[in-house]
Structure 1
Amino acid sequence: MILSRRQLLKTSLGVSLAASVPMSLLNVWAAEAQTTTLPLAIHSQDGPHRLDVEVAETASQRQRGLMEREHLPEARGMLFRFESEQPAGNAFWMYRTLIPLDIAYIDGEGRIVAINTMQPCTSDTPRECPSYPAGASYHAALEVNAGYFAERGIQVGDCVSVPALAGFCRPDA
C-alpha cells in the first residue's frame, strides 16, 4: 500500500501525539474507567440474596454510575461508596441512564434506610430529570434492576454485607 503525503503526515502526527501523552495520565484514565467487582449479600427475612456489584468509589466513578448501559444482568448491581456520611437530602438521578433501577440507601451500620425505584430520564437537559433523595443519612447506595428488591422481599432495615470489604453489618443471628 502506498500512502500519499497527506496520509503519511496525518499518520505521523497521530503517532507523535499519542507518544506525547504521559503514561501516568493514561494509567489514571484507565484506573478511573475500571471499577472493582465484589460479591455482596443482602440479608432479609427470605434469606441472603447474593449479587456481584461494581464498586464506584471515586467521584468520577460515582458520577458516571450506570449511565448509558442498555442492560444490567439480573444478579449484578453497582455499589456507590462514600468517604463520609451523606445528608438525607442528597439524591441520585437518572440523567443519561437507559434502564429503570431500584436504589437502596445504606447507613454506616450496613442497614438499608430507604429504597426508591428510579425511571430513566429521556430529557437531554439534566435539570429536567427528577432526583431521588434518600430521606435519611447514608454511607453507601446500591443500584440494581427495578423490581429486584420488591421481588425478593428486601426492605428498609435489612442488612447488607460486603465480605471483601469486611464491612457493613452482620446479619441478625
Structure 2
Amino acid sequence: MGYLLDAFFSPDNKYVAINNRRANAGDYLWVISLRNGQAIKMPDDVAEDLGKKEAGTIAGDHWSDQSMPEILALCPTCTRDDLRHSFLFSTGWKSAGELKVVEEFEFSKGWIAANNVCRITGTSLSVAEHKVAKESRPSELVRRAWTWSPFHSE
C-alpha cells in the first residue's frame, strides 16, 4: 500500500532505490537488484513480517535502539524516549554501489538529519560514511510524505 515518492536507478542500472510512503512516518526505503529482483533492503516492518529481518536493516553506525553519539552531542535530550517521528529515505546515488540515505528525526526540540552513504556489498547495505546535523525544519522529502497527514503542520 501507499504511494511512490521517488525511484532512483543506480548509474550502472543494477539497482533501484525506491521511497514508498506507506504510513505517516518510518522506514520508506526499498533497494532492489534489477538483475534478479531481490530486495537488498526493504522497510524494517515489512522485513520482520516476512521473516527476513536482515533485509530490513542497514549495517554500520547509524540510529538503532541507541542514539548515535553525534546526535547526543548536538542535542543531549534527543534520545529514543524523546523521538516523535523518524523517517528513512534515499536521496539518490553517489556512485554505482553507493546510495545516499537520510535518516530524519523529529524530537521535541527540533529536527536532526543523519546523512549517510551506504554501500551495497553482495546482498546487504551498510553505512560507509555519515554526517549528522541539526535542521531548522523537516526536509522536502518529509513534507511530501506528510501531505494529507494529520501529523503535518505548517
Q: TM-score, normalised by structure 2?
A: 0.26
The structure carrying a bigger helix percent of its residues is 1
Structure scoring higher RCO (CA < 8 A, sep ≥ 6) equals 1
**Rg comparison, structure with higher value:** 1
The TM-score with structure 1 as length reference comes to: 0.24
The structure in which a higher percent of residues are strand is 2
